[in-house]
A and B are shown apart, each in its own frame.
Chain A
């Protein structure tokens, strides 16, 4: 199963590639349009600023290939910033328009909680994901316990307008937010499954199974 991991200059490519290799996927780190479109599955990773990511994607002419691949119906996984980029827009400074594939906005965690105490930003560490009722049988989360701990590192979270696409929710301080979504062939996580130990690797294995089924 050939997987294209999109290289747009931002992202923990090594870890994502490593997790793919470990789960018998054949990853290729690339920014080549043909390779991306010709893959069985595509991963859009991402670490860093939304605005910069969008300009890098523009400069590398990757926006259309991404949209095209998603339209093809083949499995697509977005991770962390890669999930946020799918959205219509972000609260970050500058031209903050995203790919517009998922209806919603990207927001920053508030500086204080309800008790007026400053909260730590970015959220860095392990937090629990809870499955939504409508998607509790999703194959991509097979053998993942409800309330499983995954590794998060982010200052922004997604606010979905199309709430039916929510796969899991997570709570950080007073904010309950969508920590992963599933919409047709699009699977996206705010957490890093490649950094979430065995539970995270199980997510990659499940995704690999889905790709096998599609082919």
Chain B
């Protein structure tokens, strides 16, 4: 069956001689209270709508997984997303990872019970690395994701930061990534704090540095502004998955909020205004996947012909 070139999913002969994994496209949803928000440069957080609606929209439109980030918890050290997690998890049948302020085994337990499939640790992991080990033993390696926030130093070295890129730790990103893998993390998210929200492209050097050295899957995060960026971080950076926010939300915003109270021309115009945003090209997940498929990057692109379940 694998050799049959007329299989419906081999239309362009993409699955040729060489084995390739399907790269995952993962929308990131930042949540504050009951709202989906997006950080606007110099402006703070802007409300875009309800997280559950965006989650459901992305699930219906081809997301391979979803990540919910509690941005307030990261600031104040608590994760309070239980209700939103449950409401979201009930509607989507793809993996859901929850991130933000998860500090103890009990936090993890509550988060999983609320409906998360995976949890991501960041600050708590750097502060007590033993938590990764305990958590992966208790909940399974594949349940524990570690996010590493990287800032490039003048020397060219990448150092890990905590608390949303605010707290300096002095820890080398690559060293920490290798340690995290040894401690039992199932996946690593590498966030370029420098690039996040800028739309100027992923930091290929950063991602490639990590993917070359670790055995667990690496999720690239921070900087996606156009289709080409996504292609390059997979092709050259060797990312196993891509975590995207800005590129998806602004375009989806209109679709999702057509019938909602949030639809106000003023809001949308504001989001699109300013040279800061000119680098971010809105795209649907389908567009991204079709583009990748044309560039011979394997991804789950052929689901859009599915009937309802």
Residues of A within 8 A of B (CB): 10, 12-15, 18-19, 22, 47-49, 52, 111, 113, 118-128, 130, 145-147, 149, 151, 153-155, 171-174, 194-202, 205
Instruction: Tell me if B94 counts as interface (CB < 8 A to partner A).
Output: yes
Additional A-B contacts beyond A14-B114, A198-B309 (10; CB < 8 A) = A122-B216, A123-B21, A124-B186, A125-B21, A125-B217, A126-B24, A127-B21, A147-B1, A147-B7, A197-B59
From B27-35, B134-142, B165-173, give the one contacting chain A: B134-142
Within 8 Å by CB of B215, from A48, A120, A125, lies A120
Evaluate contact between A120 and B303: CB separation under 8 angstroms.
no
* Interface pairs A-B: 9 shortest CB-CB: A48-B140, A198-B309, A201-B309, A47-B140, A130-B1, A153-B142, A126-B22, A14-B115, A126-B300
Residues of B within 8 A of A (CB): 1-2, 7-9, 19, 21-24, 59, 64, 89-90, 93-95, 112-115, 117, 137, 139-143, 186-187, 215-217, 240-241, 300, 302-303, 306-309
Min CB–CB distance B90 → chain A (angstroms): 6
By a CB distance below 8 angstroms, the chain A residues around B215 are: 111, 118-121
Min CB–CB distance A175 → chain B (angstroms): 10
Q: Given A12-B117, A130-B1, A146-B1 in contact, is the A18-B95 Cβ separation under 8 Å?
A: no
Q: Given A124-B186, A197-B303 in contact, is the A18-B217 Cβ separation under 8 Å?
A: no
Evaluate contact between B309 and A124: CB separation under 8 angstroms.
no
By a CB distance below 8 angstroms, the chain B residues around A198 are: 93, 303, 306-309
Evaluate contact between B241 and A125: CB separation under 8 angstroms.
yes
Evaluate contact between B19 and A151: CB separation under 8 angstroms.
no
Q: Given A47-B142, A120-B240, A145-B8 in contact, is the A15-B59 Cβ separation under 8 Å?
A: no
Min CB–CB distance A86 → chain B (angstroms): 18
Within 8 Å by CB of A125, from B24, B89, B114, lies B24
By a CB distance below 8 angstroms, the chain A residues around B21 are: 120, 123, 125, 127, 172
